[in-house]
Amino acid sequence: MTSVRKCLIWDLDNTLWDGVCLEGNVRVRPEVVHSITELDRRGILQSIASRGDADLARQALEQDDLAKFFLAPQINWLPKSKSIVRICRELRLSCDAVAFIDDDRFEREQVSYMLPGVLTLDAHCAPELPGLADFTPAENTPEARDRRRLYQMALEGSRAEADFASRDDFLAACRMRLTVRPMAEPDIPRVRELMTRTHQLNTTGLTIGSSDLEKIFHEPSDEPRVMVAELRDRFGEYGIIGVAIAESARPVWTLTSFAVSCRVMGRGIERAFLASLVRAAYSRGYTHSEAAYRETGRNRMMRALYQMMGFRMSGRSADPDTLLFRARSEEVRPVPKWVEVE
Amino acid sequence: MGTNHKTIEATLTAYIREECLSRNGQTELTDETDLFEAGIVDSAGLLSFIGFIETEYGITVPDEDLLPENFVTIARIAEYISAHRQVQPA
């Protein structure tokens, strides 16, 4: 179980800067700037939950060129636990994946009480954040360095939806293209990272190390065992957002591990990826498809996905905690019409 | 029972309009719309929707019931709810 947090949520007054914004001049703490830029470089997302006037705070952040670092900032008069829930919803993160830093003990206690999964930190810790294990991912991939921009893109996408007459029109206008291909050696760090970071859309919750991935990659096999999915749409490129590991013995194709980034949740990408894998297997003679699922307490969505796609529970694997789902390959629901797969 | 069923469908439709569709959109939504094919509900949305149904109707939806025949249209969901609601004492 990794303890690395995906997002750090900042209080502003007397935490990010000295002073109270509504009362006049504030001065950003220089040591805080270093922590913000370093966490950003590591792919830790950052946001704001602060009380006060949103316009004034934004101006102050822009003066120091810091506004760009924060996604879905919440500057309002709501309880901070509410702001944190909003941030998690917008970024599609679980509350267990975020940390919150504030100088006010009452605020920290209130957040811990309402949202026990959130890691709370005293503002004194701000200069030491880069040294904490909670903000030190095992690997630093190109996707990680670009993560803020990728999330920004996804946020713009969901906001753009308001301009379209129907959900179909909106999804089609996004021009989503999913490239499904065998994993290549340089993909290994990103694939490992994806499996480690993904909890809600991960069928087994099992973490596979780089060396295991390399082993699978180099094992002689008739067919590639690890497939990856890359997404792009009219807002830009998202890189590798899905990974599937399969084992197969004709006529049954078995998906042993399947994970999709929560960043692209809510637009049918997991369905498109699964459907295209099954379709490709079917064309190679696998009349039946099987998929493993191990309940982790957070991945019920994946069981729902299998069942809604046409799989039915068929038994348990050698590991009694792992359920197997099966379908006739040709009966699995197709790729959603708004996603183009290549 | 008939009106009851209609009330359930109306409640579900209101939820979908509020939570899954854009405010100013005009997505066609009937009791028979395939919520998945139309891109209105997907894996994440389904679980939030089920959370709403469980609270609203006091039922528990076990994992094995998360099937297309129960959840693919508003009509099917309303039938599922009607069938699983506890009979209220008179």
Does residue A126 carry a pLDDT above 90?
yes
Q: Is B58 left (phi over 0), alpha (psi -120 to 50) or beta?
A: left
Q: Which CATH number does B2-84 carry?
A: 1.10.1200.10
Instruction: For chain B, list residues whose CB is within 8 angstroms of any CB belonging to chain A.
Output: 20-28, 36-40, 42-47, 63-64, 66-68, 71-72
On whether both A168 and A310 belong to a single domain, the answer is yes
Give the A:B interface size as CB pairs under 8 Å.
Answer: 82
Assign B89 a pLDDT band (cuts: 50, 70, 90): very low
On whether both A150 and A130 belong to a single domain, the answer is no
CA distance A141 to A135: 15
How much is the pLDDT for A52? Answer: 87
On whether both A126 and A206 belong to a single domain, the answer is no
**Domain stop point among A89, A106, A135:** A135
Q: Within a domain: residue A67?
A: yes
| % chain A with pLDDT above 70 | 99
| % chain A with pLDDT above 90 | 63
Q: What is the mean pLDDT of residues A23-35?
A: 91
Does residue B90 carry a pLDDT above 50?
no
Which CATH number characterizes residue A110's domain?
Answer: 3.40.50.1000
How much is the pLDDT for A108? Answer: 93
Map tokens 């750090």 to a residue: A8
How much is the pLDDT for A203? Answer: 86
**Domain stop point among A85, A107, A135:** A135
Sequence-distant (6+) residues with CB within 8 A of A287 are A251, A328, A329, A330
Least confident of A16-20, A108-112, A205-209, A220-224: A205-209
Residue in B21, B28, B47 nearest the CB of A300: B47
How much is the pLDDT for A265? Answer: 80
Does residue A213 carry a pLDDT above 60?
yes
Assign B24 a pLDDT band (cuts: 50, 70, 90): low
On whether both A11 and A84 belong to a single domain, the answer is yes
CA distance B33 to B16: 12
On whether both A150 and A263 belong to a single domain, the answer is yes
Residue type at A174 in one-letter notation: C
Does residue A1 carry a pLDDT above 50?
no
On whether both A265 and A206 belong to a single domain, the answer is yes
**In this complex, do B24 and A162 lie within 8 Å of one another by their Cβ atoms?**
yes
On whether both A119 and A147 belong to a single domain, the answer is no
**Domain stop point among A101, A120, A135:** A135
How much is the pLDDT for A122? Answer: 96
Does residue A128 carry a pLDDT above 60?
yes
On whether both A285 and A165 belong to a single domain, the answer is yes
Q: What is the mean pLDDT of residues A120-125?
A: 96
Residues of A in contact with B39 (CB under 8 A): 167-168, 171, 267-268, 336, 338
Does residue B2 carry a pLDDT above 60?
no
Decide which of A40 and B3 is more confident: A40
How much is the pLDDT for A140? Answer: 80
Range of the domain at A170: 142-341
Angstroms from B58 CA to nearest CA on chain A: 20
**Tens digit of pLDDT for each residue in A148-190?**
988 888 888 777 776 676 777 888 888 999 999 999 999 999 9
Q: What is the mean pLDDT of residues A316-337?
A: 94
Q: Which of A229-233, B19-23, B26-30 has the largest mean confidence? A: A229-233
Does residue B23 carry a pLDDT above 70?
no
Assign A289 a pLDDT band (cuts: 50, 70, 90): very high
On whether both A69 and A115 belong to a single domain, the answer is yes
**String of b and e for A262-290 (b: at least 16 CB within 10 Å)?**
bbbbbbbbbbbbbbbbbbbbbeeebebbb
Pick the closest to residue A326 from A340, A311, A304, A341 (CA basis): A311
On whether both A258 and A124 belong to a single domain, the answer is no
**In this complex, do A301 and B23 lie within 8 Å of one another by their Cβ atoms?**
no
> How many domains would you assign to chain A?
2
Assign A264 a pLDDT band (cuts: 50, 70, 90): confident
**String of b and e for A182-200 (b: at least 16 CB within 10 Å)?**
ebeeebbbbbbbbbbbbbb
**Domain residues of chain B, as ranges?**
2-84
Decide which of A79 and A127 is more confident: A127
Which CATH number characterizes residue A150's domain?
Answer: 3.40.630.30
Per the prediction, chain B carries an average pLDDT of: 85
Residue in B24, B40, B63 nearest the CB of A300: B63
Does residue A49 carry a pLDDT above 80?
yes
On whether both A190 and A230 belong to a single domain, the answer is yes
Does residue B17 carry a pLDDT above 80?
yes
CA distance A260 to A264: 8
Can you name the residues that pair with A10 across neighbouring β-strands? A48, A101
* ipTM of this predicted structure: 0.89
Residue in A167, A267, A310 nearest the CB of B21: A167
Per the prediction, chain A carries an average pLDDT of: 91
Verify cis geometry, omega within 30 degrees of 0, for the bond prior to B89.
Answer: no
On whether both A180 and A293 belong to a single domain, the answer is yes
